[in-house]
Amino acid sequence: MASIFTRIIQGDIPGRIVWRDEQVVAMIDIRPCNRGHTLVIPIREIDEWTDVPADLASHAFAVAHKVAAAQKQVFTCKRIGLLIAGFEVPHTHLHVIPIDSMTHLSFASADDNASADDLDAVAEELRTALRAAGHAEVV
C-alpha cells in the first residue's frame, strides 16, 4: 500500500507542496513542530533513509538546503534544524524546521491543530522566497 506521502505526491489527496522536481518534493508538515516546518521527501518510496541511494540522498539534502535558505528569509528563528526520524511514516523524509531551541525539534510539541489558513500562508511565503531565489521547481 502506498504511503500517505506517495498518495499526496500522486495527487490522490491534497498537500501543500512547495517544491517538485524529478526526484523529490517538499511540502508543509500538517503537524508542525514550529511554524514553517517543511518535509523534503524522495518521490521514490523508500522506508529507511539508510537505504536511499547516495545520489538521491545528496539531492534531497541539497533541496533541504534551499528550503532552509528560504525559511531563513521568511521566518524569524535562530537556526534551521534538520531531522530524519523515520518512525511516523514508512517513507523517508527530512524535517526542515525553523527553530529557536531544541524544543522545536520535539514531536511531542507538534501542533495537532494547526490552522489550515496558516499552513496555506506558510506554503505561499516559502514559494515566494524560493521563486525569488530563482528556483523553477517551485509548485
With cut-offs at 50, 70 and 90, classify the pLDDT of residue 27: very high
Mean pLDDT computed over 83-88? 92
pTM of the model: 0.97
Give percent of the chain with pLDDT exceeding 70: 100
- Structure confidence by residue, pLDDT tens digits, 110-128: 999 999 999 999 999 999 9
Q: For residue 33, give every residue at least 6 positions away whose Cβ sits within 8 Å of its Cβ, in sequence order, or none.
A: 95, 97, 104, 105, 106, 107, 109, 110, 111
* CATH numbers and ranges of domains, the chain: 4-92+99-132 (3.30.428.10)
Residue 99 to residue 104: CA distance in whole angstroms: 5
In SS3 terms, 55-98 reads as HHHHHHHHHHHHHHHHHHHHCCCCEEEEECCCCCCCCCCEEEEE
Interval 6-35 mean pLDDT: 97
Single-letter amino acid code for the residue at 125 = E
What cell numbers appear for 95 in the block? 524535517
Q: How confident is the model at residue 86 (pLDDT cuts 50, 70, 90)?
A: confident
